[in-house]
């Protein structure tokens, strides 16, 4: 049982006012799927729970030139198949299909999943690989933070007390030359993965890699950018070039320094990083060349 005040504002500005008022002791609850576990395990002890259940302005998905904006309160199940309307979200939709189960995905929200900042989160990994940003609102105004800077460690984010994550922006990219893909390995369906990898590549007309992002989840507190591996790909011909993808995958594996946990040793996680990076890159390249 949790002993705290439960508030139900209806607009973002009301939420921000309440957050400013109650300071550090206030926590925002959307679907409650991550928060309830943190509460039960005593990891957070809020004085006020601010429910954003009735804040409908956070439920939109809109596209513009700049990219696709997803309201923080959009449930995970709504994002499955969202790539039909917004093809750049294919990797995100794919990743979310494997998150937990339909009951949980019906309640869990995108914003909640990001703010939990679970070290193994597939959603975080994919969003970083897509170069996504998040918008934070507070009584003082708004700011936009890149996803790669937002998650700062295990269950830790750059959000300041008083700030509400309102929106995720996935930037546009040219689907004819670029693509993202995600791979994960789980011990049981619906679990957090032992390791997850998100990959994004874009090609020039000659099949050379213009841009590459390789993001590894659950090998550190926050997702890890495998920079050496990304560098190995850039300006190289990566179409039909298994050798360079394998080399990059090895570099990604060499880059991470996971710690063992009861479910997997660090050696095994490193093996998986190599296998999954290769698979994710192979799929991303195949999609990029159409």
Strand order across the beta sheet in which 5-7 lies: 5-7, 48-51, 26-29
Name which position in 104, 158, 239, 263 contacts other proteins (CB under 8 A).
263
When the beta carbons of 83 and 191 are compared against other proteins, the nearer one is 191
Distance CA 25, CA 255 (A): 38
Name which position in 49, 126, 127, 272 contacts other proteins (CB under 8 A).
272
Distance CA 216, CA 274 (A): 10
Name which position in 185, 224, 280, 283 contacts other proteins (CB under 8 A).
185
Indicate whether 42 belongs to the interface with other proteins (CB under 8 A). no
Distance CA 173, CA 142 (A): 25
Q: Tell me the sheet residues that pair with 164.
A: 137
Distance CA 262, CA 269 (A): 12
When the beta carbons of 29 and 264 are compared against other proteins, the nearer one is 264
Helical (H) or strand (E) element with 196: strand 195-203
Indicate whether 156 belongs to the interface with other proteins (CB under 8 A). no
Q: Which stretch binds other proteins (CB under 8 A): 47-55, 131-139, 149-157, 184-192?
A: 184-192
Indicate whether 206 belongs to the interface with other proteins (CB under 8 A). no
When the beta carbons of 128 and 194 are compared against other proteins, the nearer one is 194
DSSP-derived letter for residue 237 is: B
Indicate whether 212 belongs to the interface with other proteins (CB under 8 A). no
Name which position in 141, 189, 243, 290 contacts other proteins (CB under 8 A).
189
Residues that bind other proteins (CB under 8 A): 1, 185, 187-191, 262-265, 268, 271-272, 275-276
């Amino acid at each position: 049982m949790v002993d705290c005040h439960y508030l139900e504002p209806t607009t973002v500005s009301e939420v921000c006012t309440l957050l400013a008022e109650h300071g550090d002791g206030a926590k925002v609850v959307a679907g409650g799927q991550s928060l309830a576990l943190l509460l039960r395990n005593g990891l957070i002890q809020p004085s006020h729970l601010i429910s954003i259940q009735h804040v409908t302005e956070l439920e939109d998905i809109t596209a513009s030139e700049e990219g696709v904006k997803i309201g923080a309160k959009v449930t995970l199940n709504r994002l499955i198949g969202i790539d039909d309307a917004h093809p750049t979200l294919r990797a995100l939709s794919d990743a979310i299909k494997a998150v937990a189960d339909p009951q949980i995905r019906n309640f869990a929200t995108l914003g909640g999943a990001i703010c939990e900042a679970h070290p193994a989160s597939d959603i975080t990994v994919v969003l970083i690989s897509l170069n996504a940003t998040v918008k934070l609102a507070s009584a003082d105004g708004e700011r936009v933070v890149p996803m790669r800077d937002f998650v700062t460690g295990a269950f830790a984010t750059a959000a300041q007390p008083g700030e509400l994550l309102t929106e995720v922006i996935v930037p546009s990219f040219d689907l004819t030359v670029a693509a993202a893909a995600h791979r994960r390995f789980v011990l049981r369906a619906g679990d957090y993965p032992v390791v997850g990898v998100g990959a994004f590549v874009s090609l020039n007309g000659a099949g050379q890699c213009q841009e590459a992002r390789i993001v590894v989840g659950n090998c550190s507190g926050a997702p890890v950018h495998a920079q050496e591996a990304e560098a190995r790909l850039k300006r190289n011909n990566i179409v039909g070039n298994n050798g360079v993808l394998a080399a990059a995958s090895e570099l990604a594996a060499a880059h991470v320094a996971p710690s063992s946990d009861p479910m997997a040793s660090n050696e095994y996680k490193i093996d998986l990083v190599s296998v999954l990076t290769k698979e994710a890159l192979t799929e991303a390249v195949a999609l990029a060349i159409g």
